[in-house]
Amino acid sequence: MPSHLRLPALLLALLGAAPAASASPYAVKERHWVPRGWRATGPASKSKSINLQIGLRQRREGSVERHLLEISDPDHARYGQHLTAAEVRELVAPADDTVDLVREWLSEHEISNAGFSPSKDWVSIVVPIEKAEQLLQTSYSTYRHHDGSEIDRAIEWSLPAHLHEHVDVVQPTTSFFKPKKEAVKYFELGPKHPMSWWESTGKQLYGGQEVSGTHAEQVAAVCNVSFTTPTCLRTLYGTLNYTAQANGTNKMGLNNYLNETNYRADVYKFLQLYRPEAAEAAYDFDIVTIADAPNDQGPYTAAELEDETNVEANLDAQQMLSIGYPTPLTAFSTGGSPPFVADINTPTDTNEPYLTWLNYALAQDDLPQVISSSYGDDEQTVPESYAARACSQFAQLGARGITFLVSSGDAGVGADDSCYTNDNSSTYEFLPSFPTGCPWVTSVGATANFNPETAVSRFASGAGFSNYFGQRRTKPRSPGGPTRTSRPRATKTPLVWDARSRPWAHLGVVADLRRRLALVNDALIAAGKSPLGFLNPWLYKTGHRGLTDITSGSSYGCNTAGFPAQAGWDAVTGFGTPNFGALVRLACGGAYDE
């Protein structure tokens, strides 16, 4: 064949072998309505950096969930046989061609700083918003919330058509998730007391005296709704006489967001007053900072004192150590929340703390067996694709034997006069919260009072339902959260903040259950058994017998009475509040001497 004919043939062959990426047209992958409370103020700055998280389609999609249902079912032969971190990563890894196609797409846009998660199912890139708009064929605007905070978001984004089956989610794009501390607006800081007040006055007024007798008599002797001490809570839920045995392997964890951290000096002073033998733990527990989260150990600045910085974080650490001691504690502090001032070296705030924390946590080989979070927002503020991927990551935690607890919310079925959908139809309906509606977490609500306990009335517990996730055949989700913790109505819990002791009218419901489950895990591990892991199937089949049923109160909201508490499971108090001794007996399958 003449040489002048061979060259065109070779060029045609090369062109035919070229990947379809360069010629693949873009198509919209996702649209999402702007939630109520947000309004666009103008185009986002093109030069501002943004950290995009790209979720790749998993090769064995759904495999983790199938494993989780088996190892969490007490009737299954695999019950308690949790997976290792490496095994979970293998299950969620994308196909090689998925990774190659995404790398190629990024390379075509001259993006070379991509970082992959250990399983390669998430890709992280930092690019100017102008580049993100080109990559996703979208436009970012700056949106302002009615509270004054701002984020940069898009109402839709696109991908080359050939990538639609390989990429599940890209954020931050259409997600307006604005995490808030559940029930934070309901606290009231009481009068400040010097550290000497408890010994000189407080103990006589509120300390009570341990007595023998029935459980109700013991609770009545040490509990006071005006100042509920750790001794009261340990008595109420049956952990007072329990001695932890598996401190070398059993751990508990808490999550801090919104730039809060745990101030060790305050934690130490609290424990000195209310659990003296645990005081040194204030300087021993781990604080892990993620995404440039602060860990300022004081003293407080004038601005921090005015904002009451770290009040929530202090309460969580103080309450957990005062009851869970000597179980080791890890506090995860995740950065990235408004107010945020971007500069040339710092990417813009993603305001997606769950995604940031989940990607960090799942990259670790060793995690606490019980972790919780009290942060959430309306489910409709996040696209379903984002919720699904985040929820699947919670399932990965469960498969590894980790219990994840989430506050059910503080607005019941929805805040009055605000229960409208985001789709411009103005449909009035109950508003679920995220991530408490995820099937693979345990939703935790609040109760009140002593003997008898009731559903909390200071605010309304959420119900744990979801418009995104349906009920599974084996009921892995606990709708409304079958496990609820208890604080008395108008209870003022002691808190040390800024070296002063004060009563704090707030309900740290998730922390209550977390530390009790940590002690149940302690008993299991000491007996040579696996930790509880994902709770919900066990609660439905066995564990509910170790909870005290709550039959009074309701989860009001949306200008309705919401769901009433009633005998048996209900959507406001679930199966009730924990009885530690009964839970240990049920979990260990044997006797427990209280």
Nearby residues of 542 by Cβ (< 8 Å), 6 or more positions away? 74, 586
278 neighbors 325 (Cβ within 8 angstroms): yes
Please provide residue 460's backbone torsions phi and psi, each rounded to the nearest 5 degrees: -115, 125
Residues 274, 281: Cα–Cα separation, whole Å: 13
pTM of the model: 0.87
* Eight-state DSSP code of residue 515: H
CA gap 286, 289 in Å, rounded: 10
Which pair of tokens denotes residue 57?
A: 């389609």
Nearest one of 333, 340, 374 to 356, comparing CA atoms: 333
3-class DSSP string for 481-499: CCEEEECCCCCCEEEEECC
480 has binding-site annotation: no
Closest CA to 467 of 441, 428, 437: 437
For residue 11, the model assigns a pLDDT of 35
Structure tokens at 302: 């004038």
| Annotated binding residue 570 | yes
550 is in an annotated binding site: yes
Sequence-distant (≥ 6) Cβ neighbours of residue 370 within 8 angstroms? 252, 253, 402, 403, 405, 514, 517, 518, 521, 531, 532
Domains located in the chain, CATH noted: 184-335+369-588 (3.40.50.200)
Q: What is the mean pLDDT of each run of 10 residues along the chain (594 residues)?
A: 39 38 82 90 95 95 97 97 98 98 97 95 96 98 90 96 97 83 51 79 78 85 84 89 90 90 94 95 96 86 82 87 94 68 36 81 97 82 88 97 86 76 75 87 81 72 78 37 35 69 54 81 95 95 91 82 85 85 90 58
Q: Which amino acid is at 187?
A: F
- Cβ atoms 270, 495 nearer than 8 A: yes
> Contact 58/121 with Cβ under 8 angstroms?
yes
Using alpha carbons, select from 392, 563, 375 the residue that is nearest to residue 480: 563
Reference 512, options 186, 128, 234, 214; nearest CA is 234
* Model pLDDT, residue 72: 97
128 contacts: CB under 8 Å, gap ≥ 6: 46, 47, 48, 49, 50
Residue 458 has a pLDDT of: 67
Q: What is the pLDDT of residue 424?
A: 65
